[in-house]
Amino acid sequence: MLQWALDALLGLGLLWLAWCALMSPNLLKAIVLFVAFGLLMALAWVRLDAPDIALAEAAIGAGLTGALLLAALARLRFAYADEETVGSPAQEEAKVRFPQWLPAVPLLLVVAGLGYVVLSLPPYATGLSTEVTANLESSGVSNPVTAVLLNFRGYDTLLELVVLLVALLGVWSLDGLALGRETAPGPVLDTLSRFLTPVFILVAAYLLWVGAHAPGGAFQAGSVLGAAGVLLLLAGWRFRAGLTELPLRLVLVAGPGAFVIVALVTMLMEGQLLEYSPEQASILILFLETTATFSIGATLAALFFGGRPQDDKEHT
């Protein structure tokens, strides 16, 4: 009964929060509602016995996206500083040209497709979990989620890393941003960033290590590392200009790069893309996850910075 009430409250709360976040004309309110949605979502994953996803949702959904959206809101206000509000006459005009129901057509198609898929699913799916459990021993790790993400379907993770990198390339192609220090953070924020950064790094390392046999892994560790970068950026810390050129780029591509190299080598040695021999699987996975963690952390922090870092002199 209590369990049921808890789940019902979570489910209804999620739907309601999502609706309110979408319908809010006040963008800051929408962001706060979205952050609250992320928190509830993580709780919902916990109730669904999916601590791996709960961990990722806690780090990305509740932690990083909130900061990213708030920074985006600040930039939006800056961009529209000349006009009174974001919903300016220029935008109203743009709205008139497209009938408002037009976006509903593709949306309905997606809903119909999803509905068809859900209805056509067999009532009791056998799933692949038995196969994963059967082959877990040869995967090099004992956490089934890590085994799937880094071994059985390693190319999924490779492509996810590439997606992150492409997102950053998109942001960087828009504009450069001067590296200059922002307003002084004040003693409290300064101290907070000094205290928390080592803890962030420690927790990221812990999550990376524990991923081999329990919920954790590169994405969770990487987002914790990225959050450390975000906090440091907010507290006014900046790299020297030299470090943001080649060194930063090397860290950004290290994860996908290592993945591609391992993929090529395994293809030459074993004849299959990303098929590790059971003896080497464990060490290879640790190597790939470590490089991926650094890349994900650096990519997320760079995304938060919000532009290609430029020297102050270069930027006029």
Partner 1 sequence: MIPSDYLSVALLIAGAIFFLAGTLGLLRFPDVYTRLHALTKADNVGLGLIVMGLVVQAESWAAVGKLLLIWVLVLLAGASVAHLVARGALQRGIRLWKR
Partner 2 sequence: MQTLYLALALFLLVNLGAGMWRIFRGPTAADRMLSAQLFGTTAVAVLLLLAQTKENTALLDVALVFALLAAVTAVAFVRRAWTDQEVDHDSE
Interface contacts to partner 2, rule CB under 8 A: 2-3, 5-6, 9-10, 13, 20, 28-29, 31-33, 35-36, 39-40, 42-43, 46-47, 49, 51, 54-55, 58-59, 62-64, 66-67, 70-71, 73-74, 77, 182, 185, 189, 192, 196, 199-200, 203, 206-207, 210, 214-216, 220, 224, 227, 230-231, 234-235
Q: Interface residues for partner 1 in 85-124 (CB under 8 A)?
A: none
| HSE (side-chain half, CA atoms, 13 Å) at 78 | 6
**Region 197-216 residues binding partner 1, contact defined as CB under 8 A:** 199
Q: Which residue, 154 or 216, has its beta carbon nearer to partner 2?
A: 216
Nearer to partner 1, 43 or 147 (CB): 43
Contact indicator for 225, 204 with CB cutoff of 8 Å? yes
Contact predicate 146/218, CB 8 Å: no
For partner 1, the closer of residues 210 and 241 by Cβ is 210
User: Which of 21, 30, 189, 286 touches partner 1 by CB under 8 A?
Assistant: 189
Stated as kind and residue range, the H or E segment containing 106 is: helix 104-120
Handedness of CA 303, 304, 308, 310 (dihedral sign): negative
| Cβ count near 100 (within 10 Å) | 8
Q: Which amino acid is at 175?
A: D
From CA 197, how far away is CA 70, in angstroms rounded? 21
Q: How far apart are CA 201 and CA 217, in angstroms?
A: 14
CB of 181 to partner 1, least distance (A): 18
The footprint of partner 1 (CB under 8 A) covers: 186, 188-189, 191-192, 195-196, 199
